[in-house]
Structure formats: structure tokens, C-alpha cells
Amino acid sequence: MLLSHRVVHAPMTRCRCEMNIPTDVMKDYYSKRATRDGLIITESILISPNAGGFSNVPGLWTDKQIHSWQQITKAIHDKGGFVFGQLWHAGRASSVLPSGQTLLSSCEEPLQGTCKWTDKPFGTPKIALHHDMDGVASDYKAAAINALQAGFDGVELQFAYAQLPDQFLQDNINKQTKTIQERILFPLRIVDAVCGAISSRKCAVRLSPFSTSEGAADSDPITHSEYVCTQLEKRMLAYVHLVEGRASRQQAGGSCLRPMPPSTLLPFRKVLHRTPLLGAGSYSPEKAQAYIVDGLIDAAALGKLLLPTRIWPIEFCTIILLGHGILKHLFQVAPKDIRICLPTKPNLSLFTCGHSFTW
């Protein structure tokens, strides 16, 4: 996969499905955001009916779902773009399962409060046993195979925001063991199952080391996520996608804000030598540009900025200058070879969808 620019569409759940089947509204949405040789990462896609979630998010386990995704991936490819589907198992971050099965997690404590998407209370999980993990790993594998059948260029595994794999990584949720070396075993099993099925070059992983959403509050996010990145680096993935930390409230119950350095991703960049690193998290165009130029990240995934598309992509790309002469094999060569320098002249003809869109 050869990208012509480094502005990536971040995964964003929009709840526009009917009974877990993608709709034409979604085709329209993604098609309008596709750029020539640019990458879109889709919203989270449930890997199976037992993966939690709710009925207006997409799935990837039936022929009908695969067929509907085919229309969307084709629309993106027709505009010359690439698309990775984000594969999702929510674990305990769900209400009751429609299949009547019990939610799986690394613990038995339900999340407090109600799910913001359904307004229903979170369900009570059970600890996933060995055979449950086997089932989940093979659901990921099947979904990854279905994703390729549906025309995706690859899959991004949703290990961020305290969804099921992250419920195993975060030490305040997974209290079964004290070491990251053990907590990572199940998430790595998922990665290896998917890589074995579709190749590591079509598989990516998203992590949010510092997130405190859905009950996450790891005691040592830098050390633990560094270890996770070290393990992912060995696997030659398409990319690793990391969400920046933000200033957050002190966990000890204080109300003061805990300041964060300008970028929180430096420790992970140091371990991800060969693996392209996508950064995300409240990037302004200027910040994304600075981080890319400094080599801190290889591409910037933008979320909220790309929703209304009124600045997408022309004005943005005049700032993130990815023009002529610096087109590189983002997903094929070592990151040190793809560091960019600013070209003197932006080549706007590279960006073909500068008209304005609706949400």
C-alpha cells in the first residue's frame, strides 16, 4: 500500500447501521472522505454477535454484512483510496448480549453507569476461560477473513479504549495477574490468529495507553504499553495506531489536572523502529504537521476535524504538506526512510475531493 499523504481518517462509530448491517448513508459518508491513495480506518466493526455492542453498529459475520461492506470498500477504492476495517469486541463495555450469552472480560465487575450509546446499564461480565478465549480468537480470525472478502485492504484491531483486549492489558481491570507479560498473552493470541489468517502486513493494532474511558486507569501506562509495542514491533504489522494522552484528572480523587507533555507517544516511537506509527488525539493541523516532520509519528489520524469535512482535505493538506517528490512507501519501508521534509510547494492536485460535505 502506497499512501500519497499522511492524513488518515480515524475510526469513528456513527451508529448508522440497521441490525448490524451497513447502510447507504455510510457508503456516502466514506466515499466522500476517500482521497487518492489516502487511508480511511472505519468505525469499530463487531466481530460476532457475541462481541457486545448494539444493533446500529456494523458487524462482519454474515453474508449480508460482507455484501454491504463490499459496496462501501468499492466506493472508497473507486476514488483511489485505501480502507482498513476496525475489528471490535466490546467485552464488558456493553449492555446485555442479544444472543443471551454472558459478557466476557478479564474480571467480574461490571462497568459503573450506563452505556453512552444505548443509555442502558452495562452488563455483568464473567472472566473469560481458556475455551472462551479460543472462541474469541477464532471469531477475530473469521472476521479478518471476511474483511478481506468484503474488500478491505486490511484490519485494525481495536485494542484501545478499554474494549475486550484492553480489559486484559489494563492492570486496574485485569487483576488476575501482576505482570504485563501475562496480561498481554490473550491480546497477542488475537494478533497472531489474525496475522496467521491474513498476513501481518494487513493487520494493525490500535492502543490508547493513557485513556481513562470505560473504566481504564492503568497504573504504569508508559512501561506497560512500551512492552506491548515491543511485542508488536516483532510482528511486522501494517502499523501501530496510538492515541495520545491528554491532561487528565488525578486518579487519587483530586480535582487538579495532571499535565501531559506535548506528545505522549515518544516512548513508543522509540520501540517502534520498523513499524509505521499512526498518532491520534486532538491534533490540530499544525501539531500533526510538527509531529510528522519531527518523525514522532508517521501519519496523523484525525477524527472530529474530519466529521463536518468543511476543512477536509484541501485546507488541511496545505498545512500537512505531502506533495510532490516525497511520496513514500509508508507501509513498505522502515519509518526512518519515510520521514518527510516539507516540500517548498504543495501539490494540491493530489487531493481530489476538496468540495464541502455534509455530516
Ligand X SMILES: Cc1cc2nc3c(=O)[nH]c(=O)nc-3n(C[C@H](O)[C@H](O)[C@H](O)COP(=O)(O)O)c2cc1C
Burial class (CB in 10 A: 0-12, 13-18, 19+), 87: buried
When the beta carbons of 211 and 275 are compared against ligand X, the nearer one is 211
Q: Which is nearer to ligand X, 92 or 328 (CB)?
A: 92
| Phi and psi at residue 9, to the nearest 5° | -80, 115
Can residue 305 be called a binding residue for ligand X (CB under 6 A)?
A: yes
* Residue 125 beta carbon to ligand X: minimum distance, rounded to whole angstroms: 20
Per rule CB under 6 A, is residue 204 in the interface with ligand X?
A: no
To ligand X, the closest distance from the beta carbon of 52 in angstroms equals 13
- Neighbouring C-alpha atoms within 13 Å toward the C-beta of 157: 32
Are 161 and 217 in contact by the 8 Å Cβ rule? The answer is no
CB of 15 to ligand X, least distance (A): 9
As given in the structure block, the three cell numbers for residue 356 are 464541502
Choose one: 113-121, 264-272, 298-306, 330-338; the region binding ligand X (CB under 6 A): 298-306
- 11 is a site residue for ligand X (CB under 6 A): yes
* Contact residue for ligand X among 4, 26, 43, 128 (CB under 6 A): 43
The Cα angle at residue 172 between residues 168 and 173, in degrees rounded to 5 = 40
Q: What share of the chain is helix, strand, coil (3-state, %, to 5)?
A: 35, 15, 50
Nearer CB in complex with ligand X: 203/328: 203
> Positive or negative, the Cα torsion across 48, 216, 227, 152?
positive
CA-based Rg of the chain, rounded to a whole angstrom? 19
Stretch that binds ligand X, among 74-82, 106-114, 245-253, 280-288 (CB under 6 A): 280-288
Minimal distance in Å, beta carbon 214 to ligand X?
A: 11
Residue 49 sits in the site that holds ligand X (CB under 6 A): no
The least CB distance from residue 302 to ligand X, in Å, is 5
C-alpha cell at 42: 472505519
Does the protein bind ligand X through residue 263 (CB under 6 A)?
no
Instruction: Name every residue whose Cβ is closer than 8 Å to that of residue 39 and which is 6 or more positions away in sequence.
Output: 1, 3, 8, 9, 81, 82, 83, 84, 299
- CA–CA dist 37, 83 (Å, integer): 10
User: Can residue 158 be called a binding residue for ligand X (CB under 6 A)?
Assistant: yes
Residue closer to ligand X, measured from CB, 125 or 279:
279
What's the min distance (Å) between Cβ of 181 and ligand X? 25
* Interface with ligand X (CB under 6 A), residue from 13, 31, 212, 289: 13
Question: What 8-state DSSP symbol labels residue 93?
Answer: S
Q: How far apart are CA 338 and CA 333, in angstroms?
A: 7
- The answer to whether the CB of 170 falls within 8 A of the CB of 217 is yes
Q: Does 319 bind ligand X (CB under 6 A)?
A: no
59 interacts with ligand X by CB under 6 A: no
User: Which residues ranging from 236 to 255 are in contact with ligand X (CB under 6 A)?
Assistant: 243
Q: Is 212 in the site for ligand X (CB under 6 A)?
A: no
Interface with ligand X, residue 229, by CB under 6 A: no
Specify the residue, 12 or 217, whose C-beta has the smaller distance to ligand X.
Answer: 12
Question: Which residues are at the interface with ligand X (CB under 6 A)?
Answer: 10-13, 43-44, 86, 158, 160-161, 206, 243, 280-283, 302-305
